[in-house]
């Protein structure tokens, strides 16, 4: 019968395996060519010796043969904790991209990289070393992401927490571009416009006069009357609401001028301004009313000056020589109400 010779070194090796592997996690075979093979102890089915060879059989591979001459040493390592990422977050970038961010897990051994999964499909063939990832050029749909963390010595974590984002193609909301205005009587302005043809859905319109919103609730008609107006210049525009979070740019702007307001017409003829146009000096006169305050406004309704008269009288002289040439409005407060008139500065 043939006898197999086993050296004392092999016996020492067997003794080392039997005595030091208890409670450990991995066996590392360090080879003479400076390479090494790492095997999880839980996967080892058997270790046998045949002459000058060691045979290693695991549940995941065929039997491996190691020549005793090639083995430098065998090391047993303690368990490695492979913590998963637990702070994965996502955010939409623009209209068709999603950015992922996370942190390297603490309390774990050396991280070699990460695998990114979108809807259970691996996105990166090579391990990602960074802790962020941009997924772009995405079509409409719902996207669910998670990560796997890879550590040294072939340790792989459980899946990270999941992050979900939805990509929807933007719905364009075209603005009104045919807004027109007309004066109705002496103190009202009517606006008309058309619903933009490119918008499949319009919930309503917002009306702005001199940059101030005029309707708290959305206006569903395409015609609007602004009445009971005082004298002044009024600029309008409209914004289209296609949905609660999708609105248009502003429409074209229209401007109308009201020279005599509804509450001022009865007194207008009692006030005389001259000379008008003027180069600087302007006289304000009334036979029946006492003048108490005079205010000057530009065509956009901005107050330029205000003169409160300590002693009211029926004749006042105003100096507007400091104003540039153009159209202005003068508001005259009397003991019986106010009047606004247009003046021209040359």
In this prediction, residues 76-83 reach a mean pLDDT of 69
- In this predicted model, what pLDDT tens digit does every residue of 126-154 receive, in sequence order? 999 999 999 998 998 999 999 999 887 67
Please give the CATH superfamily to which domain 89-167 belongs: Immunoglobulins (2.60.40.10)
On whether the 180-258 domain is CATH 3.30.70.20, my answer is no
Burial of 32 (0-12, 13-18, 19+ CB in 10 A): exposed
* Residue 226: closest CA among 218, 217, 235: 235
Per the omega criterion (within 30 degrees of 0), is the bond before 160 cis?
no
Q: Which residues pair with 272 in a beta bridge?
A: 285
Span of 162-171, 243-252, 256-265 with lowest mean pLDDT: 256-265
pLDDT recorded at residue 1: 35
Domain ranges of the chain: 8-77, 89-167, 180-258, 265-345
Q: Which of 205, 209, 208, 201 is nearest to 219 (CA)?
A: 205
Note the pLDDT of residue 101.
96
Mean of the pLDDT values across residues 118-123?
95
Residue 8: which pLDDT band, with cuts at 50, 70 and 90?
Answer: very low
Instruction: Say yes or no: domain 265-345 is CATH 2.60.40.1930.
Output: yes
Q: Which fold has domain 8-77?
A: SH3 type barrels. (2.30.30)
Per-residue tokens: 124 = 């990166």
159-185, pLDDT tens digit by residue?
999 999 998 876 678 899 999 998 876
d(CA 139, CA 91) in angstroms, rounded, equals: 16
Q: Which residues pair with 142 in a beta bridge?
A: 166
Q: Decide if 39 contacts 26 (C-beta within 8 A).
A: yes
> DSSP letters along 195-221, please?
--TT-S---EEEEEETTEE--SSPB-S
DSSP state of 132: E
Structure confidence by residue, pLDDT tens digits, 207-230: 999 988 898 889 989 989 887 788
**Which residue(s) pair with 253 in the sheet?**
none
Same-fold call for 8-77 versus 265-345: no
Q: Best-predicted range by mean pLDDT among 109-123, 222-236, 248-262?
A: 109-123
pLDDT reported for residue 10: 54
Helix intervals (H) in 243-314: 265-268
- The pLDDT of residue 114 is above 90: yes
Q: What is the pTM of this model?
A: 0.37
For 154-163, letters b (16+ CB in 10 Å) and e give ebebeebeeb
DSSP secondary structure letter of residue 74 = E
- Please count the other Cβ atoms lying within 10 Å of the Cβ belonging to residue 178: 11
Average pLDDT of 100-113? Answer: 84
Higher pLDDT, 105 or 316: 105
Token code pair at residue 86: 């637990």
The alpha carbons of the chain give a radius of gyration, in whole angstroms, of 43
pLDDT at site 280: 87
Structure confidence by residue, pLDDT tens digits, 35-70: 777 666 666 767 777 767 777 777 666 677 777 777
Q: Tell me how long the chain is.
A: 346
Tell me which DSSP letter residue 137 carries.
Answer: S
The dihedrals phi and psi of 103, each to the nearest 5 degrees, come to -115, 155
**Mean per-residue pLDDT of the chain:** 79
Percent of the chain with pLDDT over 90: 26
* Other CB atoms within 10 Å distance of the CB of residue 273: 17
Instruction: With a cut of 90, say whether residue 25 has pLDDT above it.
Output: no
């Amino acid at each position: 019968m043939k006898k197999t010779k086993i050296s004392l070194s092999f016996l020492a090796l067997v003794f080392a395996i039997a005595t030091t592997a208890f409670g450990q996690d991995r066996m590392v075979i360090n080879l003479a060519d400076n390479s090494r093979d790492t095997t999880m102890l839980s996967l080892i089915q058997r270790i046998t010796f045949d002459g000058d060879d060691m045979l290693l059989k695991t549940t995941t591979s065929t039997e491996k043969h190691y020549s005793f001459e090639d083995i430098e040493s065998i090391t047993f390592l303690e368990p490695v904790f492979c913590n998963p990422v637990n702070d994965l977050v996502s955010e939409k970038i623009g209209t068709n991209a999603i950015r992922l961010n996370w942190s390297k897990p603490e309390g774990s051994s050396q991280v070699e990289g990460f695998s990114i999964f979108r809807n259970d499909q691996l996105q990166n063939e090579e391990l990602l070393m960074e802790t962020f990832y941009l997924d772009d050029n995405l079509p409409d749909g719902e996207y669910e992401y998670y990560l796997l963390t890879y550590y040294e010595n072939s340790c792989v974590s459980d899946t990270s927490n999941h992050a979900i984002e939805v990509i929807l193609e933007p719905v364009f909301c075209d603005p009104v571009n045919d807004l027109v205005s007309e004066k109705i009587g002496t103190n009202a302005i009517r606006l008309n416009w058309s619903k933009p043809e490119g918008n499949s859905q319009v919930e309503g319109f917002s009306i702005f006069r001199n940059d101030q919103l005029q309707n708290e609730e959305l206006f569903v008609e395409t015609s609007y009357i602004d009445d009971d107006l005082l004298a002044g210049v009024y600029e309008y525009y409209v914004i289209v609401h296609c949905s609660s979070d999708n609105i248009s740019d502003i429409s074209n702007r229209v401007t109308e001028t009201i020279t005599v307001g509804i509450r001022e017409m009865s007194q207008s003829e009692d006030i005389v301004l001259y000379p008008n146009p003027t180069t600087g000096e302007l006289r304000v006169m009334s036979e029946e009313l006492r003048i108490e305050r005079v205010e000057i406004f530009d065509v956009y309704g901005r107050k330029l000056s205000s003169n409160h008269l300590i002693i009211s009288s029926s004749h006042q002289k105003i100096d507007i020589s400091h104003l540039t040439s153009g159209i202005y409005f003068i508001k005259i407060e009397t003991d019986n109400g106010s009047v606004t008139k247009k003046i021209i500065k040359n």
